[in-house]
Amino acid sequence: MSLPELPIMLQAARECGLLAMKYFRHGETVAADANVQHKGADDPLTQADLEIDRHLHEVLLSARPDYGWLSEETVDDPARMQRRRIWVVDPIDGTKEFIQGLPQFAISIGLVEDGKPIAGVVYNPAAEEMFSASIHDAPLLNGQPMACSARAELVGASCLASRSETKRGEWDGFKDEFRLELMGSIAYKLALVACGRNDITFTLTPKSEWDICAGVALVQAAGGSVTRKDGSEFIFNEPDPRTRSVLAAPNQLHTPLLQRLVDTPLSPDRRGGTPPPR
């Protein structure tokens, strides 16, 4: 039995991909009418983010008006806490790469029930890659089955690293241990782990539920695990949607990765404000 919401999510992602590609320019700075703004330090916003957010809100809540809503680009409504099911979306995860003309961004749509992700769609329209999975639907990449890597050894694993974190030197200690590949969007990173193209990814820099919700659903469905650095699982639709760390790996590499990072300190929260709870 297929999850009824999944076709709605897939269609919404395709439509939002068309909106994104109106502004995206491969290898060039985003179109001028994208109206690049800055919400804060190292936190850009474009017209595409806003248009996609509006479209997702209209389509998803029209289809399921009794569900809650959490989006990076929408003012948070605490009423979501009273809903069993909630849409958790990031209109464009990887906005910096989107602006720079790098095909390393994604539209991320997650569906949560009682704190657990039950479906996820991550769509990179520039790469024409649609990742999807649900508790009732097999994990797919462009309609074909996908699964996490079968690699048995952590040392030498293909690891997706944040472009900005790498520039700050936060990955210097891992260069000789993993085969690092720089990538923007964490939603896209998680999708790439889910399809087995890369073995692992992690970040010790704060993230939010909308960054990871859909990707967590994908990795879990594809035979992997996603937790915090302390090994705790994510509960979604929390009052504070932020988290201090994210680790994703195939099930057989997850415990070794946790052990490898146990003494590695968390990175500073560079966006300021009250620190994430954990």
Tokens 């704190």 belong to 115
pLDDT at residue 40 in the model: 77
Contacts of 219 (CB under 8 A, 6+ apart): 148, 190, 193, 194, 225, 226, 248
- CATH fold match for the domains 5-145 and 158-261: no
pLDDT at residue 70 in the model: 98
Model pLDDT for residues 104-132, shown as the tens digit of each residue: 999 999 999 999 999 999 999 999 999 99
Are 133 and 222 spatial neighbours (Cβ–Cβ below 8 Å)? yes
Q: Is 97 annotated as a binding residue?
A: no
pLDDT at residue 273 in the model: 60
Average pLDDT of the chain, as a whole number: 95
Model pLDDT for residues 182-225, shown as the tens digit of each residue: 999 999 999 999 999 999 999 999 999 999 999 999 999 999 99
- Residues linked to residue 150 through DSSP beta bridges, in sequence order: none
Structure token pair of residue 38? 């800055």
> What residue segments make up the domains of the chain, in order of their start?
5-145, 158-261
Helix axes 186-194, 209-221, angle to 10 degrees: 0
Contacts of 111 (CB under 8 A, 6+ apart): 3, 5, 9, 67, 85, 86, 87, 88, 117, 118, 119, 120, 134, 217
* Over residues 65-72, mean pLDDT: 98
Q: Is 93 annotated as a binding residue?
A: yes
pTM of the model: 0.96
Identify the CATH class of 5-145.
alpha beta
Model pLDDT for residues 264-274, shown as the tens digit of each residue: 999 887 666 66
Q: Is 99 annotated as a binding residue?
A: no
Model pLDDT for residues 135-183, shown as the tens digit of each residue: 999 999 999 999 999 999 999 999 999 998 999 999 999 999 999 999 9
Are 148 and 194 spatial neighbours (Cβ–Cβ below 8 Å)? yes
Alpha carbons within 13 A on the beta-carbon side of 42 = 8
Helix axes 5-21, 47-63, angle to 10 degrees: 160
Identify the CATH class of 158-261.
alpha beta
Tell me the percentage of the chain whose pLDDT exceeds 90: 92
Contacts of 11 (CB under 8 A, 6+ apart): 59
Alpha carbons within 13 A on the beta-carbon side of 104 = 19
